[in-house]
Amino acid sequence: MKMTGARIFIESLKKEGVKVMFGYPGGVVLPIFDALYDSDIKFILTRHEQGAAHAADGYARATGKVGVCLATSGPGATNLLTGLATANMDSVPIVAFTGQVKTSLIGNDAFQEVDVIGITRPISKHNYLVKDVNNLTTVIKKAFHIASTGRPGVVAVDLPVDIQMQETDFHYPEKADIRGYKPTQKGHIGQIKKAAKLIANSKEPVLYVGGGVIISGASEKLREFAENTEIPVTMTLMGLGAFPGGHELSLGMLGMHGTAYANHAIQESDLIIAVGARFDDRVTGKIDEFAPNAKIIHIDIDPCAISKNVKVDVPIVGDANCILTDVIKYAKKPDISKWNKQIASWKKQFPLAYKKDSRLRPQYVVEEIYNVTKGEAIITTEVGQNQMWAAQFYKYKIPRQFISSGGLGTMGYGFPAAIGAQIGCPGKVIFDIAGDGSIQMNIQELSTAVANKLPLKIAILNNACLGMVRQWQELFYKKRYAYTCFDSSPDFVKLAESYGAVGMRIAKKKK
């Protein structure tokens, strides 16, 4: 049966199990939107393409499925870029489709033409320009496979308008056969045995876990391994929820915004077992001063991540879930009773605390959100102080409960990501913890939330400034607050009401 490229596009998405897509229309994607008119794929019309990319990202993080977004050529495509870079840095599986001018016009500076392949190359895992309608199904199959396997990431697919309109027979491939792309799943058993020996002989070990544990579905194996060995666990920002925050072995988050006891544990450790984490600069600080006495075991599916920032002693490439399963078989419990007593002492000496008085402090707000939601909500955040308070004072129990921009630190991320999370998890309570600066970056998506009747909650921690940047100015620039304090801010209650949402102002703690 012959179909247009646009119809093939829709049928291919259905073959991939796509139920929802986020985006914004434009001239060169009109053939696709015309095909969408009769499709049962749910299309969420955002109010900005950046919002569409972030919503697809939030959907993917909350559900574990591939997020899909669609934009037109030129400015539509470029508006996606911040969202795509955000997702790719945090290993989020997204397939992003963009329209393109006719193939005969590519390179001629046609109206709304940009080099999508060129500009997405450094911020995506892979990208494609479809030049032949007969290759469309194969490209889409490969795109979803690449996005969701190995270390997940963004795949961009550029679709010229004439390809969307041409006809051919529809045959969807059963599998994606990509030469040279065979991500390693099983870890090398020799390396696993070396790791097990180091673990058995360690006296001061720490499990350092990142988002890769969540992505691979390894949280249960991680907990089993930690409880079997009684090794304490610290998490990166992206790893929050990989291990229960309230567990006695939890050290919370480490790094420049982490707990003091997590950082003491890392610095004094003799063995770091890194699982699905990449030793980024927010964790390590000065590389030559990081964990000077520790041997390092590094488990990661991305071979390029191992020894990239910190030299490791035992590299193990593969899927965290598979590798932890094998590590549990071989690892014996080390004698670390003195070490755990020392960590308990640090927890008492350096608790995560704040001044508790009559003022309505942001940490108190986060704690109250935790209490009201009974720790069951999916929390999204913007970026800045609000993000760190949400990471520190909400105890995440399970994977995919904390959704935030880690690697890129994208202001304006949290609210559209909350929209995607709510679409993907309609029965869940979704709460965006925001700052008054960051929320205004994509405030227009209030219209998207209202139009789709989404029961989202947003807590705007309003300090009338760009709090994190101002904090750095206070600490490092002699309190010279250059352009970080707002002379005026909107009335967020009235703004919410103007979009048809409910706005409330809370100025005092409860009695």
Do 298 and 407 lie in one domain? The reply is no
Do 240 and 322 lie in one domain? The reply is yes
Hey, what are 420's tokens? 């995607």
In a domain, 84, yes or no: yes
Output the pLDDT for position 1. Answer: 81
Do 7 and 156 lie in one domain? The reply is yes
In a domain, 355, yes or no: no
Dihedral of CA atoms 138, 143, 149, 152 in degrees, nearest 10, equals: 170
Dihedral of CA atoms 370, 374, 377, 380 in degrees, nearest 10, equals: 10
Mean pLDDT value of segment 11-40 = 97
Do 218 and 327 lie in one domain? The reply is yes
Do 207 and 317 lie in one domain? The reply is yes
What does the pLDDT look like over 81-118, one tens digit per residue? Answer: 999 999 999 999 999 999 999 999 999 999 999 999 99
Mean pLDDT value of segment 30-59 = 98
Residue 266's domain comprises 189-349
In a domain, 176, yes or no: no
Q: Given strand 314-317, what is the order of strands in its sheet?
A: 250-253, 233-235, 205-209, 271-275, 295-300, 314-317
Do 426 and 287 lie in one domain? The reply is no
What total number of domains does the chain contain? 3
Q: Write down the pTM of the prediction.
A: 0.96
CATH number at residue 240: 3.40.50.1220
In a domain, 223, yes or no: yes
Output the pLDDT for position 56. Answer: 98
**Cα 418 from Cα 448, distance rounded (Å):** 11
What does the pLDDT look like over 73-84, one tens digit per residue? Answer: 999 999 999 999
CB-based contact 72:27 (threshold 8 Å) = yes
**Cα 371 from Cα 351, distance rounded (Å):** 19
Cβ neighbours of residue 70 closer than 8 Å, sequence gap 6 or more = 21, 22, 23, 24, 29, 32, 52, 96, 97, 98
**Closest by alpha carbon to 169, among 4, 31, 9?**
4
In a domain, 184, yes or no: no
Hey, what are 77's tokens? 């495509």
Output the pLDDT for position 511. Answer: 58
Say what percent of the chain tops pLDDT 90: 98
CB-based contact 225:328 (threshold 8 Å) = yes
Do 215 and 89 lie in one domain? The reply is no
What does the pLDDT look like over 142-196, one tens digit per residue? Answer: 999 999 999 999 999 999 999 999 999 999 999 998 999 999 999 999 999 999 9
Hey, what are 284's tokens? 């390590």
In a domain, 27, yes or no: yes
**Cα 249 from Cα 447, distance rounded (Å):** 43
Do 136 and 209 lie in one domain? The reply is no
CB-based contact 172:141 (threshold 8 Å) = yes
**Cα 140 from Cα 173, distance rounded (Å):** 10
In a domain, 267, yes or no: yes
Do 12 and 62 lie in one domain? The reply is yes
Do 490 and 415 lie in one domain? The reply is yes
How many Å is the Cα radius of gyration of the chain? Answer: 24
Q: Tokens 């308070």 — which residue?
A: 389
| Domain-terminating residue out of 349, 379, 403 | 349
Q: Could you please report the per-residue DSSP string of 95-146?
A: EEEEEE--GGGTTTT-TT---HHHHHGGGSSEEEE---GGGHHHHHHHHHHH
In terms of Cβ atoms closer than 10 Å to its own Cβ (0-12, 13-18, 19+), residue 52 is buried
**Cα 318 from Cα 212, distance rounded (Å):** 11
CB-based contact 403:58 (threshold 8 Å) = yes
CB-based contact 95:139 (threshold 8 Å) = no
Do 253 and 284 lie in one domain? The reply is yes
What does the pLDDT look like over 328-362, one tens digit per residue? Answer: 999 999 999 999 999 999 999 999 999 999 999 99
Q: Does position 466 have pLDDT exceeding 80, yes or no?
A: yes
CB-based contact 417:446 (threshold 8 Å) = no
Do 149 and 226 lie in one domain? The reply is no
| Domain-terminating residue out of 169, 201, 218 | 169
In a domain, 174, yes or no: no
CATH number at residue 410: 3.40.50.970
What does the pLDDT look like over 242-294, one tens digit per residue? Answer: 999 999 999 999 999 999 999 999 999 999 999 999 999 989 999 999 999 99
Hey, what are 349's tokens? 């000496």
**Cα 347 from Cα 330, distance rounded (Å):** 31
Q: Tokens 């640090």 — which residue?
A: 346
